[in-house]
Amino acid sequence: MLATRGGEQLTLPALDAHGLLPISPSARHHTSAVEIESLFVAGAPSHKALRRDLWDAYSLWERRVRQHFGHGEAWLSGTFVTHMPRQPELRVVFFPATPSMVGNAVRRGDVGLGLLTLGDVFYMSPQSGGSVETMHAVGGMMDSQVGSPAQKDGWDAMWSLVAEPRSHTQFAAGYVSLTV
């Protein structure tokens, strides 16, 4: 029988002793926005204000992604989907139900491009010829990419790892997915 929280049936397994989602039987855990907010924002042991800001940025991002690219599936990873004590960061990959929606938006020069992490960005103002290596979505709050169904295995392998910058190591961790 599945556990409940506030009357809602929970789908996520318990976090391990390190505050990570398990990777067995799968690293990807499909859930709801309500449960993500409950566990990783309201229920987080630290950085609640930053987590709230990240979740609000994600919520805005999700609404805008649906508007520009249609429905699909979002996979959320990074220390945001853990209870690790360090500052949370959020990484998202979106798999559109209709991949051509993204290509059409890019060809149109649609503002939906601002929903994605962009690399090697050149700008003309405030100074001509300036550039940034990476520009993250939603005011720099999150790293967001678009994936195709053929890339899901590669994204799964990447999203199943959390980096520990102090020791320059990576370790296995689960992540969450939800329908948008």
- pLDDT tens column, 147-172: 888 889 998 988 887 666 666 677 78
pLDDT score at 105? 72
Residue 133 has pLDDT above 60, yes or no: no
- Please report whether residue 90 resides in a domain: yes
3-state DSSP percent of the chain in helix, strand and coil, to 5: 35, 30, 35
Q: Could you tell me if residue 53 is inside a domain? A: yes
Is 59 part of a structural domain of the chain? Answer: yes
Q: Which one of 106-115, 123-132, 165-174 scores highest in mean pLDDT? A: 165-174
Does 5 reside within a domain? no
pLDDT in tens, 44-88: 999 999 999 999 999 998 998 888 888 999 999 999 999 998 889
Query: Is there a cis peptide before residue 165, judged by omega within 30 degrees of 0?
Result: no
Q: Give the residue carrying structure tokens 């318990």.
A: 14
Domain encompassing residue 84: 24-179
93 domain residue, yes or no: yes
pLDDT digits (tens, 9 = 90+) for 2-45: 445 555 556 899 999 989 999 988 899 999 999 999 999 999 99
Specify if 14 maps to a domain. Answer: no
The per-residue pLDDT for 109 is: 67
What confidence score (pLDDT) does residue 6 get? 56
Q: Which of 82, 81, 102 is nearest to 145 (CA)?
A: 102
Question: Whose CA is closest to 161, among 66, 82, 102?
Answer: 82
Q: Distance (Å, rounded) from C-alpha 137 to C-alpha 157?
A: 23
pTM given for the model: 0.82
Do the domain assignments include residue 147?
A: yes
Q: Indicate if the pLDDT at residue 113 is higher than 60.
A: yes
Q: Give residue 107's identity as a one-letter amino acid code.
A: R
Strands 175-179 and 28-30: parallel
Q: Number of folded domains in the chain?
A: 1
- For residue 52, being part of any structural domain is answered with yes
Q: Where are the beta strands (DSSP E) in the chain?
A: 4-5, 8-9, 28-30, 72-77, 90-96, 118-123, 130-135, 142-146, 161-164, 169-172, 175-179
